[in-house]
């Protein structure tokens, strides 16, 4: 069996999701893929050094071998804070108002991709399957090809892919996508992001796109682009939900919210997650239902993220201000309507919190998939499940159609959904949960890995 060589910006052996809810689905997903297939996971250590030397640090933990390198402060600034998180991330989340178009950071991005390619070259053998992840590393496949690698190389994008009209605002957009066409298989979370990519390739590059098979032919080279919606590790969540840590967490939540309904949000503190808009929706609910202000406690867990990037500092300040305002307006001596928690929690604790919360609020303005929505469902008590309120703009909304789907930009729409969730009878909650849980359980992380890896091996 071929080994897997997984490459992502950061390597994270998921023990606890420290700054996570934050590591997103990526860490859990890749750990489980490596446990199954064996191999190695390469990426940035997360540490800064004076210089990028390419010195490899190898480690084996819980059956997963990782190889990392440190990056120089300048590389981190240009590649990670700069091009990846101030250009590609906002652009891919449809935020051209926040997108910075600096050629210098673009050069840093290419330089670090080349550094990654050099290191990966030292780690791979000819029949390894190479699987590259996310927007930080779009050109890596082409860099590996330039070094002579004939391996099967796949790429999976965990974020949305924007419509062509937005994507062309990126200088050198064509050059970037041409590099991507060196991959054998390109995966997207949903048909929607896949469609935007195919549309771009056909319209801007003049590539031949077969929408049925996913085959894209361009200048004599063939790649396949398909949708592979990522899932959660169902068994792992069930096991975590049974731990004393999870039970204690549920108990903490229940005993501190007695007689009131707990509503929970868990997100990296990121402008794509729609956090200020969420607070506006809750505020509208209180305005419209003042007599119910005592019935509801909203717990927002939001570990800070990418703190060196300006737009992240701004969103944090905005969220703190809005939370302060609403708490000022609606608190009583014995009640604080919004609990804003600025740190990460382990998956076990999150499972306990999810289960004790009768409403899960997942309302990103744009999201590749959003695994919190799936985790929330997986952690519910089947006999008394909570209600998931989900943004229609999350990739997960394509699958979780029995959630209460909302437009996160509309405070009225959010307020109405909260009222509906609070009043939903048990029979309706169960009906919806039964359908949702089937999707979350059946399309879990193992299926996702298997589908992608099998295509990477077998598509001609």
Query: Binding residues for ligand F6P, per CB under 6 A?
Result: 9-10, 22-24, 26, 134, 158-159, 305-306
**Residue 259 annotated to the active site:** no
Residue 290: CB minimum distance to ligand F6P, A? 38
Residue 231: CB minimum distance to ligand F6P, A? 15
Q: Hunting for tokens 């804003």 — which residue is that?
A: 340
DSSP state of 228: -
DSSP state of 81: I
φ/ψ of 243, rounded to 5, equals -75, 155
Residue 70: CB minimum distance to ligand F6P, A? 15
φ/ψ of 423, rounded to 5, equals -95, 0
Q: Catalytic pick from 93, 136, 149, 158?
A: 158
Residue 46: CB minimum distance to ligand F6P, A? 8
> Distance between CA 273 and CA 379 in Å, rounded?
21
Directed axis angle between helix 244-256 and helix 234-241, to 10°?
70
How many C-beta atoms lie closer than 10 Å to residue 452's C-beta?
21
Residue 363: CB minimum distance to ligand F6P, A? 17
DSSP state of 84: I
Q: Which of 67, 65, 21, 26 lies closest to 44 in space, CA to CA? A: 67
Select 86 or 198, whichever has its Cβ closest to ligand F6P. Answer: 86
Select 24 or 386, whichever has its Cβ closest to ligand F6P. Answer: 24
Residue 148: CB minimum distance to ligand F6P, A? 28
**Residue 134 annotated to the active site:** no
How many C-beta atoms lie closer than 10 Å to residue 177's C-beta?
20
For 172: left if phi > 0, alpha if psi spans -120 to 50, otherwise beta; the answer is left
Q: Catalytic pick from 367, 443, 444, 455?
A: 367
CA-CA-CA-CA torsion sign (310, 316, 319, 325): negative
**Closest residue to ligand F6P using C-beta atoms:** 158
Type and span of the H or E element at 180: helix 173-180
Tokens read off for 376: 């929330």
CA-CA-CA-CA torsion sign (179, 58, 35, 458): positive
Select 166 or 371, whichever has its Cβ closest to ligand F6P. Answer: 371
Select 44 or 353, whichever has its Cβ closest to ligand F6P. Answer: 44
Q: Quote the Cα angle for 411-367-173, to 5°.
A: 125
Strands in 50-193 per DSSP E = 57-61, 64-72, 129-133, 153-156, 185-188
Residue 9: CB minimum distance to ligand F6P, A? 6
Select 24 or 274, whichever has its Cβ closest to ligand F6P. Answer: 24
Catalytic residues: 158, 367
């Amino acid at each position: 069996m071929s080994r897997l060589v997984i490459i992502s910006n950061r390597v994270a052996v998921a023990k606890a999701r420290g700054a996570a809810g934050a590591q997103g689905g990526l860490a859990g997903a890749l750990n489980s893929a490596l446990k199954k297939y064996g191999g190695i996971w390469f990426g940035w250590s997360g540490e800064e050094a004076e210089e990028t030397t390419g010195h490899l640090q190898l480690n084996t933990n819980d059956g997963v071998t990782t190889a990392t390198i440190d990056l120089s402060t300048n590389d981190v600034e240009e590649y990670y804070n700069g091009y990846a998180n101030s250009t590609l991330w906002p652009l891919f989340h449809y935020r051209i108002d926040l997108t910075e178009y600096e050629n210098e950071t673009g050069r840093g991005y290419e330089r670090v991709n080349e550094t990654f390619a050099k290191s990966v070259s030292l780690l791979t053998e000819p029949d390894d399957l190479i699987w590259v992840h996310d927007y930080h590393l779009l050109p890596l496949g082409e860099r590996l090809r330039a070094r002579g690698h004939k391996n099967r190389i796949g790429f999976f994008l965990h974020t949305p892919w924007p419509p062509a009209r937005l994507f062309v605002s990126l200088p050198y957009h064509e050059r970037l996508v041409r590099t991507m066409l060196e991959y054998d298989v390109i995966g997207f979370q949903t048909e929607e992001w896949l469609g935007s990519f195919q549309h771009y390739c056909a319209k801007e590059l003049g590539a031949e796109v077969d929408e049925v098979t996913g085959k894209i032919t361009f200048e004599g080279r063939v790649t396949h682009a398909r949708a592979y919606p990522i899932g959660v590790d169902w068994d792992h969540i069930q096991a975590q939900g049974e731990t004393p840590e999870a039970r204690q967490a549920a108990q903490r939540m229940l005993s501190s919210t007695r007689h009131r309904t707990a509503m929970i949000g868990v997100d990296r503190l990121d402008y794509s997650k729609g956090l200020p808009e969420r607070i506006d929706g809750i505020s509208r609910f209180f305005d419209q239902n003042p007599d119910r202000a005592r019935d509801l406690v909203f717990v927002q867990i939001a570990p800070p993220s990418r703190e060196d990037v300006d737009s992240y500092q701004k969103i944090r300040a905005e969220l703190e201000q809005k939370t302060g305002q609403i708490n000022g307006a609606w608190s009583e001596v014995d009640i604080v309507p919004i609990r804003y928690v600025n740190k990460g929690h382990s998956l076990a604790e999150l499972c306990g919190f999810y289960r004790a919360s009768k409403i899960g609020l997942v309302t990103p303005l744009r999201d590749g998939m959003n695994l919190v929505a799936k985790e929330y469902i997986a952690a519910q008590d089947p006999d008394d499940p909570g209600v998931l309120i989900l943004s229609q703009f999350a990739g997960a909304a394509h699958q979780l159609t029995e959630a209460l789907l909302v437009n996160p930009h509309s405070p009225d729409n959010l307020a109405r959904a909260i009222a509906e969730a609070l009043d939903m009878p048990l029979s309706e909650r169960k009906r919806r949960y039964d359908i949702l849980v089937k999707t979350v359980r059946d399309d879990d992380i193992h299926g996702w890995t298997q589908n992608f890896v099998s295509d990477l091996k077998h598509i001609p």
